[in-house]
Structure 1
Amino acid sequence: MAITFSSAAAIAGTNNFDDEEDEPGEEIQSTPNLEVGEEREIFRGTGIRKKLLKKGEGWLFPCAGDEATVHYVGSLPDGTEFESTRSKGGPVVLKLSTPFFYPELDRAILTMNMGECALFTLPLSVKCNDVVESSIPPNSVVMFEVELISWISVKNVTKDGGVVKRILVRGNGLSYLSDLDEVTVKFSTKLPDGTIVVDKSSEAEIKFYLNDVLFSPAILPSIIKTMVEGEKVCVTIQPQYARDVVSDIPPNTTLTIDLELVSLMHVVDVSGDLMVLKKIMKKGEEGSSRPEDGLSVWIKSTGKLEDGTIFDRFGFDVDGGFQFILGEEQVITGLDIAAATMAKGEVSLLTIKPQYGYGENEFRGNLATVPSHSTLIFEIEMIDFIKGKEPWTMNLQERLQAIEALKECGNSLFKTQKYERALKKYTKALYMDEKPIEDAEARKMSTLKVSCLLNSAACNLKLNDFRVAINYCSSVLEIEFHNAKALYRRAQAFIETSDLDLAATDIRRLIETDPQNREAILLQKKLKQLEAEKNKKDSKFCANMFAETKKYTNQEPKKMEDGISNMKITSHNPPQFEEHTAGISNMMTRGDELTWK
């Protein structure tokens, strides 16, 4: 099945974590974990001390807003108890960071994990519940023995309290979702009296893409994006959002949704323009690297059309799978760039638009013909790939040979106008230069580096990435101050970015170094033409601007004079009013003559 989605929603969702606001929390002093029996101050300068009585389990801690189930016993330093849940027969649920009888206590609970028992010594710096405070002597410290039995994580999904999620069962995943991902869920929606109005929990699991604008209820994807695989939650929907979930409910009705994220499949925008999507059906080996450009990979793959017609299968009848070299145009572009993102053992479903497939061409597969402008579906398994040797594992001679080979390969690609592929070769060669080298070979390595930087700049000029080209040339000039090619290519890029003054500086330096440089002289001529055109446009703009200013200024005295002549003397005006306005009129006329004649 092809991966389909709303492009606008997908693009908006690729960075959805940037918009996510963290819940407010307490800044806890970073110190080693306490051992049983050890005591120390836990919030710098507050006087709050913690003594560990029993270690908890796991590495998770509650957050502000969570609902913690605890036992506590409050006592004075002499052992006198003034408050205890144990004597009342059962634990209590406290909403952390919400003021209760002792405001400092919930801050301390944030430092505990599941099952932990600790003794907190707290200064009496904040007013307590009156009943409790009456049993505590003035200016006394208090002590709380607290056992954190469990807690429910609470997340304010909409940030306004309208949709609140409580985690009932924690999931086993670590990564959250984006709009492109496909999820499988179960859920049911209930009224306050427990009546189920929507039940999707007992029937077949529901599978959909998070960016599906037609999915109902529309609030569900935003909740799911805060979950991990296997997580079960109870979501409280306040009335302002409830009608969007179930339309035919009474006004001011609160709903609850029991929701389980059964499974998920991450979808990756491989090409960066939504033209090649990779849905990960089976994850690859943990910690596996990714194949490198120019090295061999072995895959098994089945190619289909959108209607399900299989047009090709390869790698199944060969031991080890079908072999090809990444970045050498031995397969279609979409398959090539997707394979470069896969781990060993990974199985993925690719959806490849025509621009990255066979485009306008008809293709005769082994099993069927692919019409022009076809979207392709590939199920691909990464069997194995050759792992490239990392630069830091190479000796100096190996690195020099590798850089030279990459540079020559890039040059060949550049000559055939395959600029993007050439740029990859040069970039990889520059990456090889990161390890320090001895002085004896520094000159040769520097020469190779300058060559790759210059060629990278040339590629970016061809690809219209002028700012990047400028950066590459500047890197060369840091090594060789008067490098002619760097000055020339940077001047070209400056002209394209309309930085004519900077281009003029580079051309002047170039001609000072080599007065007979024909390319520099031609570029200088082009620059002078552009400067003349720019000056002409600037002059015309200034002339128009001053003409408008003159026209406006000429009109103002006339308007003021007309306004004064139209003034009417009423019985409320003093006798000298007429003489005064006439004087102003004469003055404005004289001013007009002085200004413009």
Structure 2
Amino acid sequence: MCDKRRVDLVLVVVNRESLNTEIGTQGLRKQILTRGTSWQTPFPGDQVQVHFSGHIEGGACLDSSREKGTPFCFKLGQGEVIQGWDEGVATMKKGERAIFHIPPGLAYGDAGSSPLIPPNSSLVFDIEMLSWSTIKDVTGDGGVLKKILREGEGWATPRANDEVFVKYEARLENGTLVSKSEEGVEFCILDGHLCPAICKAVTTMRRGEKAELAVKFSYGYGNTNIDGGVSSESNLTIQLELLSWKSIIDVTGDQKVLKKITKAGEGLDHPNEGSLVKVIYIGRLEDGTVFDRKGSNEEPFEFLTLDENINEGLDRAIMTMKKDEQAIVKISAEYLSSHEVSKMVSANSMLDYEVKLLDFTKETPFWKMDTQEKIKACERKKHDGNLLFKTANFWHASKKYEKARHQRNAVKLIEFDHSFTDDEKCLAKGLRISCNLNNAACKLKLEDYSQASKLCTKVLELDSSNVKALFRRSQAYLKTNELEKAEADIKRALTIDPNNREVKVGYKELKEKQREYAKYQAGIFSTMLSKMG
């Protein structure tokens, strides 16, 4: 039995607080009978569940889900219902009930829908929003649609490098079972598992979340054949549950140092550069052979971070760890500092370290140091750099001298401090000059002539008569064929210190290069004249 008369009665007795609104600009009107219980409304693509009854305005009854006793379900905004429904239901909140007056243009138009609905008919529907399931277009092209069946915990989702543990069941449209994992399966998202859809969807899921994926064949198996000879050119339905995951951090940003957390640490803090850390670690080759082992619970291995005590890859990974954290760190062989170990592995192999950070003490921040501590910190950096320079480790020596982006930089420590006494300022100035000069020497050895000349210029801004700065800058200019600049610097150095043997040798080298350059220029000029003749 049609409930048109009941709808009309409801319209008469509805209280004055009911809202009458117009939706859009094509004549769709809505009158709220019962307010919703939340502020949220469904999004296009969501699967909504409603009860409804309807009739032609001033005419025949249409259909009623209430009489059938079964709610009506459809995907919002996908053209599965008339446009008036799509636009009207999109405004409804959970628990809301409303009357919609739908003009012909948003219903069946001038064609009607024979035999029930004549052309140009306006329709009236009493719709109650029961619930909806969020449908997310994971790929943005409709290739993988995800419906959440059970909400997950927290807010975090896995990242592309992470290792996830999932359960799933995949079926074709006809119900054929493709694959199932009752016990669960663990895999790295980047490596993939079963089909691209799972890898794309799992990065949108929270721990414990269960979802249903509607997968087009292009995100399924491609053009391969599924077991049993069933063509994979079919859409898939996948029930997917994210049980847990292990975070894998790309420490260096180039996939050459990867850290997988096996036990979460305490708090939020982690070591900084120069921290004293206490660790236990075991290093293994790809075949499982142990090649390095340091520390124990009774006697942990202690060292200062980024102080050339261990290979840089492991050093940087430890600096991302929290107290009591345990992790497996995969490191490219190119980070190995031990010559003996480097001979045992290929250049493109990865090494595994099991690491536990027992404790750490962070280096005192720059802003907490008094003036004497700042100067001593500079002197330590300079001393460390000098030792590295003597062993021809120029790259690391340069890092010790500059570390321009860190507060512990031997130059930056004292460059902008205004709390020094006159004696302390004099000592600080000397440290700045010494560090920049030593770093310039490193840059010359590393053939970074542009940086070498800039460092010397900084020294000359503080001490315009510094012979070493003039000489090293002239060497840098000489290597870049800026011969006039090189000559000006070296002549000035000789004027200041005419007996300096190193400068004299450099001056001879410059004159020889000038003669060679003059011959080269003369040759070019001669060739030009012969061609003109």
Alpha carbons 1:289, 1:343 under 8 Å: kept:
yes
**Range with bigger deviation, 347-356 or 509-518:** 509-518
Are 2:440 and 2:451, in contact at CA under 8 Å, matched by a contact in 1? yes
Note if contact 2:437-2:456 (Cα within 8 Å) is conserved in structure 1: yes
Distance 1:94 1:187, change over 3 A: closer
Distance in 2 separating the partners of 1:338 and 1:316? 20
Deviates more, 1:329-338 or 1:406-415: 329-338
**Change in CA separation of 1:98 and 1:348 when aligned onto 2, cut-off 3 Å:** farther
Deviation at 1:297, TM superposition (A): 0.9
Q: What secondary structure sits across from 2:377 in the alignment? A: helix
- One-letter amino acid of the counterpart of residue 295, structure 1: S
Quote the sequence identity (%): 23
Q: 2:245 aligns with which of 264, 281, 290?
A: 264
Q: Residues of 2 paired with 1:270 and 1:341: CA distance? A: 8
After superposition, give the CA deviation of every residue in 1:521-558 in whole Å (9 maximum; x if it has no partner). Answer: 67966885797699699989x97xx99xxxxxxxxxxx
User: Which SS does the other structure have where 2:315 is aligned?
Assistant: helix
Q: 3-state SS of the aligned residue for 2:106? A: coil
Could you say which residue in structure 2 is the equivalent of 1:348?
A: 327
Q: In structure 1, what residue type is equivalent to 2:379?
A: E
- Residues 292 and 387 in structure 1, CA contact (< 8 A), matched pair in contact too: yes
Per-residue displacement from partner, 1:493-547 (whole Å, max 9, x unpaired)?
A: 6777x6x6xx56865885797673749967966885797699699989x97xx99
- Superposed CA deviations along residues 124-153 of structure 1, whole A, max 9, x for unmatched, are 9x963456997889xxxxxx9996944323
Q: Distance in 2 between matches of 1:163 and 1:175?
A: 18
Q: Given the superposition, is the C-alpha separation of residues 348 and 467 from structure 1 closer, same or farther in structure 2, using an over 3 Å criterion?
A: farther
Residue of structure 1 equivalent to 2:214: 236
| 3-state SS, counterpart of residue 271 of structure 2 | coil
Shift of 1:313: 5.9
How far residue 305 of structure 1 moved from its aligned partner, in angstroms, is 4.8
Unaligned runs of 5+ in 2: 1-17, 19-23, 25-31, 54-61, 113-118, 497-502
8 Å CA contact 1:294, 1:326 repeated in 2: yes
Select 2:306's aligned residue among 324, 327, 352.
327
C-alpha distance in structure 1 between counterparts of 2:131 and 2:455, whole Å: 59
The Cα of 1:348 is off from its aligned counterpart by 0.3
What pairs with 1:306-325 in structure 2 (closer than 5 Å)? 306-308=286-288, 312=293, 314-318=295-299, 321-325=300-304
Residues 53 and 450 (structure 1 numbering): CA distance in 2 closer, same or farther, change over 3 Å? farther
**Residue 282 of structure 1: how far off its partner (Å):** 1.9
- State how far apart, in whole Å, the 2-side matches of 1:153 and 1:192 are: 18
| Mapped partners of 1:147, 1:493: distance in 2 | 77
CA separation of 1:250/1:356 partners in 2, compared to 1, >3 Å: closer, same or farther? closer
Query: What is the TM-score of this pair, normalised by structure 2?
Result: 0.63
Alpha-carbon distance, 1:191 to partner: 1.4
- Offset at 1:347? 0.7
- Are residues 1:387 and 2:362 paired? yes
Does 1:294 find its partner at 2:269? no
Displacement of 1:358 in angstroms is 6.4
Partner-residue secondary structure (3-state), 2:265: coil
Instruction: Report the equivalent of 1:422.
Output: 400
Give how far 1:447 is off.
Answer: 3.8
RMSD: 6.1
Name the CA shift for 1:220/1:90 in 2 (closer, same or farther; >3 Å). closer
Query: Would you say the 8 A contact 2:281–2:356 is kept in 1?
Result: yes
Task: Tell me how far apart the structure 2 counterparts of residues 470 and 85 of structure 1 sit (CA, whole Å).
Answer: 86
Distance 1:107 1:270, change over 3 A: farther
Distance 1:315 1:467, change over 3 A: farther
Question: Aligned pair in 2 of structure 1 residues 316, 127: CA closer, same or farther (>3 Å)?
Answer: same
What pairs up with 1:46-195 in 2 under 5 angstroms? 56=38, 66-69=45-48, 90=71, 92-96=73-77, 128-129=106-107, 149-157=131-139, 159-172=140-153, 173-178=155-160, 180-195=161-176
What is the DSSP-based 3-state SS (H/G/I as helix, E as strand, rest coil) of the residue aligned with 1:183? Answer: strand
Q: Does 1:283 align with 2:258?
A: no
**How many Å separate the matches in 2 of 1:537 and 1:479?**
40
Q: How does 1:357-436 map to 2 (within 5 A)?
A: 357=336, 359-361=338-340, 372-373=344-345, 376-392=351-367, 394=368, 398=369, 400-415=371-386, 416-417=388-389, 418=393, 419-420=395-396, 421-423=399-401, 427-429=405-407
Distance 1:376 1:154, change over 3 A: closer
* SS of residue in 2 equivalent to 1:361: helix
Q: Deviations over 1:272-305 (max 9, x none)?
A: 565543221122234x222123221122334445
3-state SS of paired residue (1:327) = coil
Q: What code does the residue aligned with 2:137 have?
A: K
Q: Aligned-pair distance for 1:177? A: 1.9
Instruction: Go from structure 1 to structure 2 and tell me whether the alpha carbon gap of 1:211 and 1:439 turns closer, same or farther (over 3 Å shift).
Output: closer
Q: Structure 1 residues 237, 427: closer, same or farther in 2, change over 3 A?
A: closer
Measured in 1, the distance between the counterparts of 2:444 and 2:78 equals 57
Aligned residues: 465
State the one-letter code of the partner of 1:254: N
1:301–1:314 CA contact under 8 A, matched in 2:
yes
Aligned to 2:189: 210
**Deviation of 1:190 (Å):** 0.7
Structure 2 SS opposite 1:407 = helix
* 1:185-214 deviation digits (Å, cap 9, x = unpaired): 222221112221222x21x3222333448x
Give distance in 1, aligned partners of 2:151 and 2:523: 66
Q: Which structure 1 segments of 5+ residues have no match?
A: 1-36, 38-42, 44-50, 75-82, 138-143, 363-369, 548-595
Contact between 1:406 and 1:428, CA under 8 Å: does it hold in 2? Answer: no
Structure with more strand by fraction: 2
1:167/1:514 Cα in 2 relative to 1: closer, same or farther (>3 Å)? farther
Aligned ranges 1:568-587 → 2 under 5 Å: none
CA separation in 1, counterparts of 2:164 and 2:522? 61
Deviation at 1:382, TM superposition (A): 1.2
Amino acid at match of 2:400: A
**Gap change, CA 1:245 and 1:211, over 3 Å in 2:** farther
Matching residue's letter, 1:384? D
Rounded to whole Å, the distance in 2 between the matches of 1:154 and 1:193 is 23
Instruction: Give the match for residue 19 of structure 1.
Output: none
- In 1: Cα distance, 2:128 partner to 2:243 partner: 35
CA displacement at 1:385 relative to structure 2: 0.6
